[in-house]
Amino acid sequence: MKILVAGGGGFIGKVVVGALSKDHEVFVVERSANPQNSKSIQLDLTQKKALVTLFRELRPDIVINCAGIIDPNGNVVLNRAFTMNILESLVASGHVPKRVIIMGSAAEYGEVKPDELPISEDTPLRAKSGYGLSKIQETAAALEYGGRNNIPIVIARIFNPIGKGMRPKFITSRVQQQLREFNEGVREVIDAVYRLDALRDYVSVHDIADAIKTLVEHNPKESVYNIGSGKATSNQEIVDLLIAYTPMVGKPEVRQTADTPEPLVAAQADISRMRREFGWRPRVSLEEAVKEVIDTGSNEQSN
């Protein structure tokens, strides 16, 4: 199939492109084209006229939007704008693909009740943060617009991704940087964690890419699918793994920075819908994912 991936140069997008390119013809839309990839297209998702032209000429079978603003201090309203520009440009081009896959987020669920874990796709969306709200608005608008214009929309609701190329805002990256500083003798305490007892569902970026490939190659019956590990992991466990697999010159003190427990969020995904319909399941353990992050960081330091 011919597949177009917007944001294919990002943290998740790169791995999605890699997984799909083994069996499909994959074109990548990025702000800055990759000269080493003949199928890399330089295009800003705010440029609707350019998108219309692209869809008329390329006529992709599948469109995947991996582009987005994660930083809550960033212009998160662009998340909805990016997706709606894609959908409106498809309609204007006269081309209707087999499927448009949008990256949703576990942040859409917001605070949850203990008896709602693990979180299913039918759990009410209660996000109050800027990023979570932006994803609710994006996915809701996509489903509504797609329904009115006969564009099949699938939301891949991603839980907490972990893997190579993570941004500094993620806890794994922050702790890893502080461990480097500890080894260099410029830091005595690891304090990159608000609460050690806070829980999240961490899923390898490779498992996310495999799930997206599954949604591409099958005919999804539902409009929303949780993509997670199905397990709740504490920050303490993540920190312990990072310390265990990082070559250390001593044992650092780990100190949380908040006295009050955080509200319960979507800390464990119910992934039975993906498993039941497609037989999909995560294959990369948390230990393997953490090792990859550490190995990547070590290589970057030595180059």
pLDDT in tens, the chain (303 residues): 999 999 999 999 999 999 999 999 999 999 887 777 879 999 999 999 999 999 999 999 999 999 999 877 779 999 999 999 999 999 999 999 999 999 999 999 999 999 999 999 999 999 998 999 999 999 999 999 999 999 999 999 999 999 988 877 788 999 999 999 999 999 999 999 999 999 999 999 999 999 999 999 999 999 999 999 999 999 999 999 999 999 988 889 999 999 999 999 999 999 999 999 999 999 999 999 999 998 865 544 443
- Say if strands 233-234 and 99-105 run parallel, antiparallel, or are unpaired: unpaired
Between strands 153-158 and 160-162, the pairing is unpaired
Residue-level pLDDT at 303: 36
pLDDT at 298: 52
Give residue limits of the domains in the chain. Answer: 2-163+202-230+271-277
Q: Strand 233-234 relative to strand 199-200: parallel, antiparallel, unpaired?
A: antiparallel
Burial of 186 (0-12, 13-18, 19+ CB in 10 A): exposed
Instruction: Indicate left, alpha or beta for 124 from its phi (over 0: left) and psi (-120 to 50: alpha).
Output: beta
Q: Which H helix or E strand runs over 206?
A: helix 205-217
42 with 32: CB under 8 angstroms? yes
The two structure tokens encoding residue 138? 């994006």
Q: How far apart are CA 136 and CA 77, in angstroms?
A: 11
Give this prediction's pTM: 0.95
Give the type of residue at 187.
R
How far apart CA 240 and CA 66 sit, in angstroms, is 31
CATH code of the domain occupying 2-163+202-230+271-277: 3.40.50.720
Report which secondary-structure segment, H or E, holds 105. Answer: strand 99-105
- Taking the C-alpha atoms of residue 189 and residue 198, their distance in angstroms, rounded to an integer, is 19
Q: Maximum distance among all alpha carbons in the chain?
A: 63
Q: Find out whether 222 and 286 touch, Cβ atoms under 8 Å.
A: no
Nearest C-alpha neighbor of 168 from the set 293, 7, 14: 293
CA distance 141 to 151: 12
Burial level of 57, CB count in 10 A (0-12/13-18/19+)? Answer: exposed
